[in-house]
Amino acid sequence: MKSAWDKNVISLVLKCGPDGGGHCQPDNGTFELYAGGRNLMPDAGSYIYSGDPENRAWFRQTKVHQTLTLNGENLVYAPKLLLWQPGENLDLLVVENQSYKNLAHRRSVFFVDKRYFVIVDEAKGTDTGDIDIHFQLAVGDAIFNKDSFSVHSNFSEDWNVFVQTQKQKGLELIEEKGQVSFEYTKREPRPAFSFRIKKEKENANVRFVTIVVPYQGKQPNINVEVIENKEPGSSKLQLEINEDNVKKVIEYSL
């Protein structure tokens, strides 16, 4: 998803594909986000291929990518493309991965007005346990607000990113260990976190509604709510966005 072709372009690249073998990490649903030439949410990288199996394994974990896990375990590859619908003011992508034997991860990405993203993550199935959606930012400082379930980068110049999941009962914001490797055998720390819901019932699906907003200057004021009370995992989803008291509705139907 791309806003333009100039130097201030906003671009999100998402992965949901088949097993690529030894050079492929278990990370379906993950993405990278760029704005104004800055990689705001980079992939962890590989770090090393041989001689350090412990750290090679760390970089290959599902939970160090921008995607969903069950009890922190690695996912398997079982991808589906459910919907791809680009448009002038709204790009829409819906993918699904049967990440665990009895739990699928559906990720819906709305690119709104070529400016910001609404990401809806749904865990569907009978497995129970800790459901986390994980995010990692670029190297640098980050501001955590556990009351509003938000995190944002803190660069003094140019672009930042604001990530916020809408409040719901039982939601937790958890700081995690973050690392990134841009060069072989070199790594550095970076902010990382997850939003967690405990799935306690086999017949209860879980949904997270998250805004991911690249921005310059003033921090965004955007709220998103699911309307019509559709159950997580259903074939229809309708959201109402409220940005500075201006409302709009976005939706899909599979």
Which DSSP string do the residues of 116-178 spell out, in sequence order? EEEEEEEEEES--EEEEEEEE--SS-EEEETTTTEEEE--SSS-EEEEEEPP-TT-EEEEE--
CA 70 to CA 121: how far, in whole Å? 13
The count of C-alpha atoms lying within 13 angstroms of the C-alpha of 196, restricted to the half-sphere facing its C-beta, is: 18
Torsion over CA: 199, 201, 202, 208 (sign): negative
Would 239 be classed as within a structural domain?
no
Other Cβ atoms closer than 10 A to 47: 20
Would 246 be classed as within a structural domain?
no
Supply the Cα-derived Rg of the chain in whole angstroms. Answer: 17
What is the structure's pLDDT at 22?
A: 81
Encoded tokens for 161: 């990113």
Scanning the structure block, which residue is given the tokens 């030894």?
22
Q: Using an 8 Å Cβ cutoff, are 78 and 97 in contact?
A: yes
- Reported as a single tens digit per residue, the pLDDT across 25-56 is 999 999 999 999 999 999 999 999 989 999 99
Would 226 be classed as within a structural domain?
no
CA 17 to CA 52: how far, in whole Å? 27
Q: What is the domain range of residue 201?
A: 10-219
What is the structure's pLDDT at 146?
A: 95
Whether pTM exceeds 0.85: yes
Would 224 be classed as within a structural domain?
no
| Of the candidates 24, 98, 16, the residue with the CA atom closest to the CA atom of residue 60 | 24
Count of structural domains, the chain = 1
What is the structure's pLDDT at 153?
A: 98
Would 25 be classed as within a structural domain?
yes
Would 1 be classed as within a structural domain?
no
Domain holding 157: CATH number?
Answer: 2.70.98.70
What is the structure's pLDDT at 229?
A: 66
What is the structure's pLDDT at 13?
A: 98
Q: Could you say which residues of the chain have pLDDT below 50? A: none
What is the structure's pLDDT at 141?
A: 97
Q: Using an 8 Å Cβ cutoff, are 74 and 68 in contact?
A: no
Would 230 be classed as within a structural domain?
no
Contacts of 99 (CB under 8 A, 6+ apart): 28, 62, 68, 69, 70, 75, 76, 78, 105
Other Cβ atoms closer than 10 A to 60: 17
Would 249 be classed as within a structural domain?
no
What is the structure's pLDDT at 230?
A: 80
